[in-house]
Amino acid sequence: MPGESEKMPRLLAGKVALVTGASSGIGEATALCLAEAGAAVAMSARRADRLSGLVEKIETSGGTAVAIPGDMTVEADAKRAVEETVATLGGIDILVNSAGVMQAGGIENCDTDLYRKVIDINLMGTVYTCAAAVPHMLAKGEGDIITISSLAGRKGGPMTSAYSASKHAVNFMTDGMRQELGDRNIRVCTLMPGATETEVGDNIADPNWRTAIKAHVSKEGAVKPRDIGEAIVFILSMPRRTNISEIAIRPTIDTSA
């Protein structure tokens, strides 16, 4: 795959994509990679100012982009993001669910509101966008859904109960969609990054966990967001007979199981 200074082949010319959580990190990098690959890209997130800057960047490079600010935990916002994508760009071929949040989630003295917040964004936000996008894809006769999960969805830990539970649920919900929709030419993929250099730790309420996660995602050899974006373009460029249903991307230096 090309490096950051190389132009990506226009493998997705004529396609329309919606990327949630596009104001930073994996979502932002994915939107840029999809646009480089020729797709018209709609982007949704809560930070409208960042989305505007991203639209300008894509359009300056000759791409097509539109910002649709919204909160994916609000079902009406999620549905509106899909409907405005269709109305503005003429359809929706690709949905990338990248909106997500991490919070500490131990059970002792736990803040149950934080559990709800994590599950509302990571799981229900994904459900809302998929439920809105699938009818359009079925009507067209094809589509691609890629959900950004996490390797944390495969195992829990002392302070990751909320996050791991939400991502485990996302993994199984996403694979259920694959089985439900595959015979109608809708491909569904779960992408599970390991340590990736993003802002995921910045808003963690617990100060100790915030420090630990920020160190984890900024360690030497951590995956870059663009690495994930380029992998998504690769997944989408495969022949339609091929569904990459699950992919894990971790730092080379991470040799854990």
* Residue-range domains of the chain with CATH: 16-249 (3.40.50.720)
User: Measuring CA to CA, which residue among 205, 190, 198 is closest to residue 113?
Assistant: 205
Condensed to tens digits (0 to 9), the pLDDT of residues 178-194 reads 999 999 999 999 999 98
Condensed to tens digits (0 to 9), the pLDDT of residues 142-178 reads 999 999 999 888 887 777 888 889 999 999 999 999 9
Better-predicted residue by pLDDT, 203 or 196: 196
Our answer to whether residue 163 is catalytic in this structure is yes
Burial (CB count within 10 angstroms: exposed 0-12, middle 13-18, buried 19+), residue 93:
buried
pLDDT-derived band at 5, boundaries 50, 70, 90: very low
pLDDT at 257 over 60: no
What is the pLDDT averaged over residues 7-24? Answer: 91
Q: What is the pLDDT of residue 127?
A: 98
- Predicted model pTM: 0.91
126 vs 190: CA distance, rounded Å: 12
Condensed to tens digits (0 to 9), the pLDDT of residues 80-136 reads 999 999 999 999 999 999 998 777 777 877 888 888 999 999 999 999 999 999 999
pLDDT at 201 over 80: no
- The one-letter amino acid code at 20 reads T
What is the pLDDT averaged over residues 24-45? Answer: 96
Which entry of 115, 128, 163, 209 is annotated as an active-site residue?
163
Other beta carbons less than 10 A from residue 123's beta carbon: 18
